[in-house]
Amino acid sequence: MRKVKVGYQLDFRNPPSSTLSFRDLYRESLAQVEAAERLGFDSIWLTEHHFTDDGYLPALMPAAAAIAARTTRVTIGTYVLLAPFFHPLKLAEDAAFVDVISGGRLRLGIGLGYRAEEFEGFGVPRAQRLGRTLETIEILKLAWTGERFSFDGKYFKFRDVRVLPQPVSQPYPELLWGAGAAKSIRRAAALDLGFACVGGRREIGIYLDAIKAAGKDPARYSIVNSRVVYVADSEEQAWRDTRDALMYQAELYGKWLSAAAGTTDQSKVLIRPDADRLRRTSVLGTASEVAARLEETLESTPMTELIVVTQLPGLDPAKARRSLERFGAEVLPRLK
């Protein structure tokens, strides 16, 4: 089996039915971050949305800074940051600050966004999402040189500006492109970016084909991909613990994704509230069962980094922590 890096993902979601306060959830989530570093995980990943009823993490850079202050070794990545909702100079400043205080551990996965509510809330036309994101990437690279620069784009125009501090990472923090559609995946290769994969083996195959077609060495690029993983005394126990949270999460994603696709038919989208499918596609069970499933996945899916998702929205953090500890002690050594 190929050896890969292993990361841990958090989104700080607190569904309306939860009895936890946000303060308690954040405290428990940050404790999981510290545990993940102690257990030998390589990275922590954060994901973003806005204007949701469960407070889905809306503040990536503050969260990354908090994690940087509590860790010394793990890299800190965004999976993914929704670029159309950021002013590029402010993003350059905030990201550079996090990279400096973390000692060069920041990694930025960048995506376009898709929820109409978010574009409406921020007053950004959805039709501008690609153009704004491409200009943002150009501006970030210029800003992170630490030198004065001007930019004359369609959406952003700056004259003689300078961003400090300069990142510790050189020439700048690692950039990855978050995408699931084939055309957008190929754009990652054209932009010379790593790949924050939304999907699995098929999508990674499209990316690798595009990288090779461009005459580039795939070994130069990170390919990160996530799986829901939960370790318990049995697969049945793991399903009982996670079922409600998985269904809650899938129901919301199903609505968001189908609305973005202009359909009410959730059977056509990647994530949907299908209990049998969720149980089958999530990696649930004993440590031995989970390790065997992941070894099989890693053998057939050429990612460089596996992101483990255990703290599902509404799942008791104590249960997520037990699963995390068991994964770290019994599964992680087999993968690494």
* DSSP code string of 21-88: -HHHHHHHHHHHHHHHHHHT--EEEE----S-TT-----HHHHHHHHHHH-SSSEEEEEEEEGGGS-H
Residue 267 has pLDDT above 80, yes or no: no
Judge whether residue 182 has pLDDT over 90.
yes
Q: Which residues pair with 229 in a beta bridge?
A: 283
Q: Is 283 within 8 Å of 293 (Cβ atoms)? A: yes
Average pLDDT, stretch 44-61?
98
pLDDT value for 265: 65
Residue 89 has pLDDT above 80, yes or no: yes
Average pLDDT rounded to a whole number, residues 50-79: 98
Instruction: Tokens for 222, please give them.
Output: 């990170």
- The confidence score (pLDDT) of residue 40 equals 98
- 130: its two tokens: 């690609």
Strands 43-46 and 75-82 come out as parallel
Q: How far is 256 from 272, CA to CA, in rounded Å?
A: 10
pLDDT, residue 1, reads 64
Q: Is the Cβ–Cβ distance between 196 and 224 less than 8 Å?
A: yes
251 closest CA partner among 175, 320, 313, 171: 313
Whether residue 261 is predicted with pLDDT greater than 90 in this model: the reply is no
- Predicted confidence at residue 151, as pLDDT, reads 98
pLDDT, average across residues 143-166: 98
Nearest CA to 286 among 235, 322, 331?
Answer: 235
Where does the chain show beta strands of DSSP type E? 5-10, 43-46, 75-82, 106-111, 149-152, 157-161, 174-179, 194-197, 223-231, 283-285, 305-309
Confidence class for position 281, pLDDT limits 50, 70, 90: very high
pTM > 0.85: yes or no: yes
Q: Does the pLDDT of residue 292 top 70, yes or no?
A: yes
Instruction: Give the model's confidence band at 256: pLDDT under 50 very low, under 70 low, under 90 confident, else very high.
Output: confident
How many whole angstroms separate alpha carbon 287 and alpha carbon 235?
Answer: 10
